[in-house]
Chain A
């Protein structure tokens, strides 16, 4: 199966999540005055540099055993936690997203210019927007699947969590053709640009009331 490419995603930023990523606690943190306005301005500015792109790929599950998952394209994921997570799934969705290189270049530039407050906020916006892009792809695919009598699990699992080795990032990178959306991978399995993410969710049957 070919991956679906989302070359120019228009996703709204989740402002509370951006604040949360920066350590904001609703009950405790107090932001007021000029700096409060500045932070909101930086959040707006950052969006101008973020170019969200994504890809998604559906694969059939052949077998989910105790500690490994075999997919139809012969990919094997060895992870007991993932096997438990995918229990009952007939297919899996692999998906990835990136905030693009432009924002990372600006963050580096601002850090260099000692404008670190701006860089810190831009960094949080880029991270959250990439994550939001993944959520968006998940919701989009769920909508498509519902019409086929299927549904996407709204939980996600990523390489590097639990016993699902980070080195599987390379498998995600290859299967999702992340190169096509400008994402490369390092020997240490790091995706570049830095604010690039991948995940996997299970696809199960959907039932209507009878």
Chain B
């Protein structure tokens, strides 16, 4: 990390939204079925409530519905039944404010433009995430520094490694300082050092009130120095605390 970037990282981050009696995340009776005849019940009346500064893991076997659940929480897809609220906001009625509060990392390695470089991605996301212009440059530098992307900032995405791509995708999830991070299999392709960077970024987010939900497959416990407040297991469409 160069000295300028280090200085940027030390700069105070934007305070979280004012303390509120509302839960950070409130999921009430969410159900979702897939399949041609909606025969496959993936989520069955799921309830969960999380406060600020919580770090939560959701584990489950492949196909258990973790990705579906995170996609519903992110507002990408709608549940068949039930409601989701983030800081009391509805993903449809308060779409823009809702999305300002969400940082989403999709599973797999998609969502990047092969012909753009790392800096282009970060800048692009900062703009469509509507980060205020006076904070944009600082936030871009801070986030690239946090995920150790400064050295590869000018390299095209199709010319960097899978682990570097994953760090870039993580940086885009954290960039706009969301209140709720939804990370689907974030440890994919990350080495030990990168996992430690992620753990550090999650701790920093928590220190300013951010809550994070991290999904990973059973038996693939994350590496890195990170302790979850709560771990849930998703099985047979139900979410239960371990």
A and B associate: no
